[in-house]
Amino acid sequence: MSEQILIVEDEVKLANLMSDFLSSHHFVTHQIHHGNEVLPWLEINRPSVILLDIMLPGQSGIELCKAIRQFSNVPIIMVSAKVEEIDRLLGLELGADDYICKPFSYAELVARVKAILRRLNSAEPKATVMQLDESTYTVKFKTSCIELTNFEFQLFKPLFNNPNRIYSRDSLMDTMYADQRIVSHRTIDSHIKKLRKKLDELTQTDSVIQSVYGVGYRFVHPQG
Amino acid sequence: MSEQILIVEDEVKLANLMSDFLSSHHFVTHQIHHGNEVLPWLEINRPSVILLDIMLPGQSGIELCKAIRQFSNVPIIMVSAKVEEIDRLLGLELGADDYICKPFSYAELVARVKAILRRLNSAEPKATVMQLDESTYTVKFKTSCIELTNFEFQLFKPLFNNPNRIYSRDSLMDTMYADQRIVSHRTIDSHIKKLRKKLDELTQTDSVIQSVYGVGYRFVHPQG
DNA sequence: CTACAATCAGTATTTGTTCGCTCATAGAGT
DNA sequence: ACTCTATGAGCGAACAAATACTGATTGTAG
């Protein structure tokens, strides 16, 4: 089971280097080069760690850090060009987990990432017993496992990655039809129905996906 | 420690009466009879409450209220000669804390002033322990949490975000019916009832949402 | 042919709105 | 201070409207 690292860095060359090095340590990476793309991406994905540069086009790393902390405790490592800037950041109490100063050695980068993950894994004895496996399009729960269709999987991903958060049908549609295609809201219902059937069978409970009247759907973790 | 009340009222006789009555309740008062004298006075003094008449020579009460809000959150009670005018004032969203209509009983005057001060003193020391979560449509208080329907949430949001501020039923309607649809005032009552039930259960107190007779509703933060 | 996506129409459910009544409040008159 | 009256507010229950679910059906790609 490999961890996904989000790299937010506008210098593409640097981002690639970071990516390469982390990959060689068996991390899966995703790059974002513009500040404004971060929050939308996080609505659908849930990385294990975020490496967040401060100087960015669009929303700055500082704004983003604050914004992310509104809804998630995902570990954030702030990346800054200047030592003095880090001092200033510490004063802001953004809620970042670590700070790293450019230029950094790649050994240091990996060390910090691993340190964070080690802390995290030892602190939380695996609260989520349900897991999404992107490579096989399966959902695992306890000892069982089900397969989802591509469509079902894309639909479920944002819901699963942001438990309790309510998604409107429109926003769910947006995540699966990149081409802005418009389908009936009943279509979403239909897929939700299939998802529910599979998931409820898996978890032996109902209401893993709940409807919120007039708003949309949300996922809540099952007992156990 | 006695509280100072600023009385802005051009009718000197009325101002004196107000002054006398408030003094008898151990408030220190200061009178100003011309609109243009208010801002200069406030640069040097800091009253606990301002009673602000609307019809004034020089700067009107409306202008003054706006101007004062630029630099201070001092409680302002607007004093108006007509009920209809209050409705208009609410629409302007001046940021006043309360409204009182001439002619008023002096008991009422004192009651309002005391209410404001009580609210202020109890609200000041603690940060917001109550939270609105837009992504999950929930209200959190201490360790508990309740869910609101879409409608209830939209209704509660303005009240919550501007504690102590009074919203008329009409202005609440405006915020939820963008299409200028008109519904009965009893409809708002009905939703307020449901909101109150949920909120009171959450906070274990009553009167988190208060009625202001003849005007509307306001939200006050519960005790911590 | 099969598996899956999309749609539709009928039904079920949830929520929003109104009604009619009672109670509360504020001001006026005695 | 006391009632009286007009108006506002609270509330339960009936009603209306909006929204969601379901199963059947059609469309489509491999």
CATH of the domain at A145: 1.10.10.10
Q: Is B144 buried (19+), middle (13-18) or exposed (0-12) by CB count in 10 A?
A: exposed
Domains contained in chain A, number: 2
What is the mean pLDDT of the segment spanning A195-212? 90
When comparing pLDDT for A1 and A33, which is higher? A33
The answer to whether the CB of B46 falls within 8 A of the CB of B74 is yes
Residue A74 lies in a domain: yes
Instruction: Give the residue with minimal CA–C1' separation from C25.
Output: B213
Q: Do A212 and B150 touch (CB under 8 A)?
A: yes
Are residues A119 and A14 both part of a single domain? Answer: yes
The answer to the question of residue B194 being in a domain is yes
Nearest CB to B150; choose among A164, A165, A215: A215
Residues 6 or more apart from B179 whose CB is under 8 A from it? none
B123: confidence class by pLDDT, cuts 50, 70, 90: very low
H-run or E-run covering B7:
strand B4-8
Compute the mean pLDDT over every residue in chain B, rounded to the nearest whole number.
83
Q: Is residue B88 part of a domain?
A: yes
User: What is the percent of chain B where pLDDT is above 70?
Assistant: 88
B150 in A contact zone (CB under 8 Å): yes
Contact A71 B135 (CB under 8 A): yes
Question: Nearest CA to CA, how far is B110 from chain A (Å)?
Answer: 42
Q: Which nucleotides of chain D are near protein (any atom < 7 Å from a CB)?
A: 7-13, 18-24
Q: Residue A131 — very low, low, confident or very high, per pLDDT cuts 50/70/90? A: confident
- A123, A158, A193: which is the final residue of a domain? A123
Q: Report d(CA B106, CA A111) in Å as an integer.
A: 71
Same domain? For A85 and A193 the reply is no
Identify the domain containing residue B72 by its residue range.
Answer: 4-123
Instruction: Report whether pLDDT(B32) > 90.
Output: yes
In whole angstroms, give the CA distance from residue A4 to residue A19.
Answer: 11
A12, burial (CB in 10 Å: exposed 0-12, middle 13-18, buried 19+) = exposed
Q: State yes or no: pLDDT of A1 exceeds 60.
A: no
pLDDT at B126: 40
**Same domain (yes/no): B156, B100:** no
Q: Domain check: are B10 and B104 in the same one?
A: yes
Please tell me the predicted confidence (pLDDT) of residue A126.
Answer: 55
Angle at B47 between CA B45 and CA B52, to 5 degrees: 110
Distance A183 CA to C9 C1' (A): 17
Q: What does the pLDDT look like over A139-154, one tens digit per residue?
A: 998 888 999 999 999 9
Residues of B with Cβ-Cβ distance to A165 under 8 angstroms: 135-136
Give A213's contacts in chain B (Cβ within 8 Å).
149-150
pLDDT bucket at B125, cuts 50 / 70 / 90: very low
Query: Is A114 inside a domain boundary?
Result: yes
- Is there a single domain that holds both residue B9 and residue B119? yes
Instruction: Say if B224 falls within a structural domain.
Output: no
**Is the pTM for the entire model greater than 0.85?**
no
Can you give the pLDDT at residue A66?
83
Final residue before a domain boundary, out of B75, B108, B123 = B123
Q: What is the pLDDT of residue B1?
A: 45
Domain stops at, among A94, A123, A152: A123
Question: What percent of chain A clears pLDDT 70, i.e. is strictly above it?
Answer: 92
Q: Do residues B101 and B14 both lie within one domain?
A: yes
A46 and A139 inside one domain: no
Closest-CA residue of B relative to A217 is: B136
Q: A45 and A154 in one domain?
A: no
pLDDT band of A138, cuts 50, 70, 90: very high
Residues A164 and A72 both lie in one domain: no
CATH number, domain of A15, equals 3.40.50.2300
Residue A151 contacts strand C, CB under 7 A: yes
Mean pLDDT taken over chain A: 86
Q: What is the pLDDT of residue A31?
A: 96
Whether A214 and B137 lie within 8 Å, measured CB to CB:
no
